[in-house]
Amino acid sequence: MRRAIIDTTNLELNEKVVSIKRVTKVVKGGRNMRFTALVVVGDGNGHVGAGLGKATEIPDAIRKGKEDAIKNLVSVALDDNNSVTHDIIGNFGSASVLLKKAPEGTGIIAGGPARIVCELAGIKNIRTKSLGSNNKQNVVLASIAGLSQLKTPEEVAKNRGKSVDEVMA
């Protein structure tokens, strides 16, 4: 996964909690309860990240998840109609997410975890399909892995030593 260091000082980040799980550890004296929160943050303009926070209280877990998500921000290449620049499959663990380019007016056609990632990344038109595992954490991380691998036509043209028109044809 490509991770460029993104300056978060002037980004206005929105956050959404994807899931909160109660985790119990059985110890000699009884049970220890903890909470795990999966949080996705994004600015709605091509930056998105996900993080996991663990704590004994739910608000603390969400706060830690948000801090982790801000550390793991990636930038997303979008085209002129707020869709992805090309079709791609993102993988994480046993989860795969197919991200397909869509024309203007399509909207976000996606399942729960992938939809949250797309909305916070600022994508307005996309079709997605979750393949393999439907574990929320793995689907979110697979979506972000796919979005981080996107390339703009300009990058592809530069790598191939061609003009943008030749690449787009």
Residue-wise pLDDT for 13-60, tens only, equals 899 999 999 999 999 999 999 999 999 999 989 899 999 999 999 999
Q: How far apart, in whole angstroms, are the C-alpha atoms of residue 88 and residue 27?
A: 45
Gap between the Cα atoms of 125 and 82, Å rounded: 6
* Residue 3 pLDDT level (bands cut at 50, 70, 90): low
Query: What are the φ/ψ torsions at residue 117 (nearest 5 degrees)?
Result: -60, -45
- Give domain 14-74's CATH architecture: 2-Layer Sandwich (3.30)
| pLDDT reported for residue 4 | 59
Residue 139 has pLDDT above 70, yes or no: yes
Residue 154 banded pLDDT, cuts 50, 70, 90: confident
| Fold of domain 76-158 | Ribosomal Protein S5; domain 2 (3.30.230)
Task: Give CA 44 to chain center in angstroms.
Answer: 12
- Domain residue ranges of the chain, discontinuous segments joined by +: 14-74, 76-158
Query: In terms of Cα–Cα distance, which of 3, 1, 7, 19 is closest to 135?
Result: 19
Q: Which whole number is the average pLDDT over 110-132? A: 93
